[in-house]
Amino acid sequence: MAFDIASLKFNEAGLIPVIAQQHNTGEVLMMAWMNAEAIAKSLETRRVTYWSRSRQQFWIKGETSGHTQALIDMRIDCDRDCILVLIDQVGAACHTNRRNCFYTSVIDGSEVELIRPMVD
């Protein structure tokens, strides 16, 4: 069956949540958003491109930082309202210069920092 981007379910802002996972380790790196055009760009260029909600513009991941995401596979969930991208991440996925964004753990009611920022 041909993939039709219009068959996905976008929210009222025209966006769909995207989970980015390192393809060969399974590490969940980050979650961000795409609109229909960002999905098309990501598939066409194989460079993961999000839609920045704060800047209201396309966000070619790593364009300024060099921390690019090469698209290995794109998966659609059962409800067609979430995307999982398997990627090859260069350097840190997180803007805090950590490999992934989920570096805070809730343990016995406290927040614990699991990862320190990378030193380039």
Using CB under 8 A as the criterion, which residues of the chain lie in contact with a second copy when the complex forms? 1-3, 17, 19, 21, 25-28, 30-31, 43, 73-79, 82, 84, 94-96, 98, 101-107, 109-111, 114
> Shortest distance, CB of residue 66 to a second copy, whole angstroms?
19
Nearest in space to 9 (alpha carbons), one of 107, 17, 1: 17
Nearest in space to 3 (alpha carbons), one of 45, 36, 33: 36
Cβ proximity to a second copy, 48 vs 101, nearer residue: 101
> Shortest distance, CB of residue 110 to a second copy, whole angstroms?
6
> Shortest distance, CB of residue 105 to a second copy, whole angstroms?
5
CB-based contacts of 35: which residues, under 8 Å, 6+ apart?
Answer: 10, 14, 15, 16, 51
